[in-house]
Structure 1
């Protein structure tokens, strides 16, 4: 099963997902990113008020970008 990585980034930070998650296909990875973004949105809301815009960037095992979603 392919492995996908869910990296968090803002204007001045990039948090690498070094573990990743095994998922059956890119469509499932995109759905997981959208779900994670919705869950994180509330946790990072206080930082958004200070001008931060966070995104979840999903890459595959070859480090190819397959999806980006905003928090």
Structure 2
């Protein structure tokens, strides 16, 4: 099963997923990213002091971009 990595990014900050998750295909990774964004949306927006926008970027094992979704 391919490994997918879920990175959080804003204009000023990046939080890199170094472990990743084994998922069967890119469509499943996309769904997982959208779910993660929905779960994190409230918490990160409340912590943001500068109104920055966060994204969840999903990459594969070879660093290829699979999906990006906004919080």
Q: State the TM-score, normalized to the length of structure 2.
A: 0.94
2:17 matched to 1:14?
A: no
Report the count of equivalent residues: 71
Cα deviation for residue 30 of structure 1 reads 0.2
How big is each residue's C-alpha offset from its partner over 1:8-27, in whole Å with a ceiling of 9 and x where there is no partner?
A: 00010011000000000000
Following superposition, which runs of at least 4 residues in structure 1 exceed 2 angstroms of deviation?
Answer: 47-50
Give the corresponding residue for 2:43.
43
Could you list the runs of 5+ residues in structure 2 that have no partner in the other structure?
none
Give the corresponding residue for 1:58.
58
In structure 1, distance between residues paired with 2:69 and 2:47:
17
In structure 2, distance between residues paired with 1:66 and 1:48:
26
CA RMSD of aligned residues (A): 1.1
Give the corresponding residue for 1:32.
32
How big is each residue's C-alpha offset from its partner over 1:16-64, in whole Å with a ceiling of 9 and x where there is no partner?
A: 0000000000000000000000000011121446221000000000100
Could you list the runs of 5+ residues in structure 1 that have no partner in the other structure?
none
